[in-house]
Structure 1
């Protein structure tokens, strides 16, 4: 094989191959089924598509009405996490219920999924008893000795089904490319001529600017909410604040006048009072043993890793009335890469904003209380 031939062979795009095979496979199926069988299959596909579309529309409209009512009801249930030790089942319950109450997209998504499944099942029960017998009667007998004309008509019908399937695949790829333009896979998808043709000539004109402009905004909102849900588990897990931690927080922040001053005093105290536990890291890296500890453990031993610093800071901040989050994600290791990390965000009422801080890095020097470009060294989970 020459270099030119090898280059051509290795440059074949698998996306194009899958699209062609999907289309060609549907034609072959139609040819084998014949006109009658292919027509029945196509009608079944169309009926299923109609039911799916109706289910989506009805569920969407229904959730728009139900979601605010559910939020109002949940707010009236006094879902306050008990300030005491609670088991895993109660932790899960309070995390789920308070998340449904506070996070709009999560609540909408859960209700929509349930609504879609219920509505689709009801439509199947209502429609198929009427349409099913007609399809069975209309196409009752399989074509045992199909004529050439029947096979050709079946292939033609199969091509319609194949076009729909190929277009659906291209639509999914189009959404992926729009949401993840910097993904390593994206350039490969876009290099497919079959994809380009379908995306540019059918999908893009049909959707207009909706996918390219609206969907990324929605995705960022989902990522932000998902991050908040991940943080909620620590709020539930550490709801009980021991007296020694509460008393220490009051003493540390006694001279603070504003939320920012109090938050900074706690940031400096936690960062300078707790020693980084390298033995805990070594135990996990070498033996995969994770030494779980509570904020009270960290307070008493004065040792911990980033998540322990962050949970202790959060408890101390909440004990003096500050609104604070535990944030997980990736932190810059100073050697050109990122590793698992945790830090905090605290709400400052005076300026009406959330600001980030990293008490773990206090010992390394520098200012890590809301410094410029904090997000260049800290990347949230999403």
Structure 2
């Protein structure tokens, strides 16, 4: 399968006949070797788990429909709009190439008609597609007057966002089911502001990249090997000594276009942690050959002058990539009594003081013994 997590997809539709509206989208998934199962949310025979195992690897939920609010933009809409200015031309798009390819980022804009959502400061969320500064979310009833401030305005109007959980499960929120329709795939674009046209919208390529990321066909990282040892040696130890010079090596692969290849990141860091990080150092990437499937990262490290149980950790979390959290527990011991240096440079003043005192005592003793006072009495003559 193209996906690293499986090829079984459950598709939820309001009515099973609705799948004809999205033929091109579903055909593109089948061409990528996915097995699609169509059903409705009211079908009680569908189970997501069977005997404790997943029955499906991915879910597409095209069932929910809402008629309460819509994204409205009176300046950035398509000329084929019905007058409500809800068919907007969205070109606020992420430049994260782990999610979207460069051709999609720099390609034609995306047609959107649907609802908005607001993204907070959750670090697990990534903004993918958003509206312009003149957009807002409001009801679209007949003769509707905007007499209250909209809840979402401008760049806060989020159209598509992506979430990657801490266990690397991925969820994509899209406010428009029509974005995936054949009509929007084949539609041309005539934008009003600025006035420009495109022979075909960017919806089809955008949807393809979005599903590739969501179904873990791209942006997937894995650790293929790791090793640490003292400099000049090759054996991996469970116990090191304080101030030892060690070498830490880790190899990382990235899943791209149906195969594993070396990861190109340059900001992978090593940490030595005992409650708090004592060492944090960026690993050096090594060049690779075409036949290699992973890239080696290496760091030369002097262990801290603190003994205890440490964790050697690589904690790599970047938007669009699956998270890497690899750790190894090692012990760092103090010097043994016969491993301390014979002379400590910091103690040279004390060595000098002791030696000068000994020399002074010896010199004093020599002077004392060889310079005795003359004790002979002188007799005086008397007449």
TM-score, structure 2 normalization:
0.24
**Larger helix proportion, structure 1 or 2?**
1
* Structure with greater Cα Rg: 2
Q: TM-score, normalised by structure 1?
A: 0.24
Which one has the bigger strand percentage?
Answer: 2
